[in-house]
Amino acid sequence: MSDLYYQSAAELARLLEKGEISARQLMQSVIDRTHSVEEKIHAFLRFDPDEALVEAEKSDQRRAAGKSLGSLDGIPIGLKDLICVSGQGLTCGSRILENYVSPYDATCAARLKERGAILWGRLNMDEFAMGSSTENSAFQTTCNPWNTECIPGGSSGGSTAAVAAGETIAALGSDTGGSIRQPASLCGVVGLKPSYGLVSRYGLAAFASSLDQIGPITRTVEDSALILQAIAGHDARDSTSFKAHIPDYQAALKAPPRRWKLGLPREYFAEGLDPEIRQAVEKAVDFYKNEGCEIVEISLPHTELALPVYYILAPAEASSNLARYDGVRYTHRSERAEDHVDLYFKSRGEGFGQEVKRRIILGAYVLSSGYYDAYYLRAQKIRTLIRNDFMDAFKKVDALITPVSPTAAFKIGERLDDPLSMYLSDIYTLSINLAGLPAISVPCGFTSKKLPVGVQIIGQPFKEAEMLSIANLYDSTHRFGMEHPEL
């Protein structure tokens, strides 16, 4: 089987369990594929084939001894380059951390290791996860496998592009305002943002701590359930980790589908939505209707305020979190500094990119004396109203269906000089982060230019099992995520 790199994780787990393939064969297939297409995609910042093959051999030895660690044992999973793995470099796509090496494992990485997954490479991203196109990386621009002249989305663009191109079986990304779901939609793969607090953030380099969540990027909803099962759960080292009951997500997928009541927020289908995106999403809605689901139009009246609220709160938290990168301890240290104050200015000036500087300045401004009440405090109050909109909607429906992105992937460089246009790429995703809800992007077709489109299922807090079931009903019958770009 020469195309093992394009199989789903769940299918590969079954083949490994039956002994029809070995973990070494699978890892070699992924390595060969990466060597073959990485020059065109630029998804990875680093990978170590020799170390990966050693881990694959260990996986095969465990299976031979009857000591398999489960369904993920031997499955290659890439990591966005802001998730700590002991002994590996971590750059966050920034020059300021170019030579940093993680001294410990993030909880999600440790949990994958415990289940025998092979942590395969460090994946490119927008610097400190600030961006929607992966063009803000200090090292390279990742290309969309479906059209290498286009962006893959961001900030987890390296992760989604690698999965779409067959360079890894699955990946982990982070989602602060849509950074898993938007690139998943643009690359034609599945991207899951869990409820805030379900997956530990310990070992995740922080952008905006009240918004960040780690989640899986896969080819199928079943694979997302498989990986979420491994990484979800309370962690005492993360003060925001929630003590939620973790159900059997895969068992939930096998349960007979219900006749769910699904809400269509009218604000998400208004002006600005590309007609081809609307058509693809409406076809997905029609599918659910034909399956016996009740479709209800609802309103989320504060939706138009989500973008300005997000771009007050997220930069405010970023300005605080990024203050630790000061040129003194583990970051880039300017050689041109004349004194200790000059060291801060020059180290940060040389180490941070333009978009990161823009958001730090904006965040410092809204937190400053005289502006805190007018901007930050008011934004927090509106954030509560946005969450209340969703909770009111969930009194009437089980879940919501929306577009993920207003457009398909755009050309590299097309929006670099227009930050507002770039920020609008996340218009349908960032309110979910503000509300702390789970959401998943599922591939639902292609535009006339053969660019992928995703549909978003938004679930109720900590009801990932139900959301996954709803998403799987569509994904298991359409399987758009298993289609491959020609590279």
Asked if residues 444 and 280 have their Cβ atoms less than 8 Å apart, the reply is yes
Asked if residues 244 and 30 have their Cβ atoms less than 8 Å apart, the reply is no
Q: Which tens digit of pLDDT belongs to each residue from 1-41?
A: 559 999 999 999 999 999 999 999 999 999 999 999 999 99
pLDDT for res 330 = 85
Determine which helix (DSSP H) or strand (DSSP E) holds 128, and give its type and residue range: none
Q: How far is CA 198 from CA 111, 216, 239, 246, 388, in A?
A: 14, 13, 12, 9, 20
Nearest by Cα to 208 from 312, 318, 130, 307: 318
Place of tokens 């660019």: 451
Half-sphere exposure of 70 (CA within 13 A, CB side): 13
What residues does each domain of the chain span? 4-258+478-482, 304-382
Q: Which tens digit of pLDDT belongs to each residue from 81-121?
A: 999 999 999 999 999 999 999 999 999 999 999 999 999 99
Please give the Cα distance from 427 to 282 (Å, whole number): 18
Which residues does the annotation mark as catalytic?
A: 80, 155, 179
Residue 180 main-chain phi, psi, to 5 deg:
-100, -50
Q: If phi over 0 gives left and psi between -120 and 50 gives alpha, with beta otherwise, what is residue 326?
A: alpha
Range 341-375 burial, b when 16+ CB lie within 10 A, else e = eebbebbbebbbbebbbebbebbbebbeeeeeeeb
State the maximum Cα–Cα separation within the chain, in Å, rounded to a whole number.
Answer: 70
pLDDT for res 401 = 98
Please give the Cα distance from 457 to 470 (Å, whole number): 8
CATH number, domain 4-258+478-482, options 3.90.1300.10, 3.10.20.90, 3.90.700.10, 3.40.50.1370: 3.90.1300.10
pLDDT for res 369 = 87
Judging by DSSP bridges, how do beta strands 261-265 and 76-80 pair with one another? Answer: unpaired
Which segments of the chain have a pLDDT < 50? none
pLDDT for res 1 = 52
Q: How many helices (H) and strands (E) does the chain have?
A: 16, 11
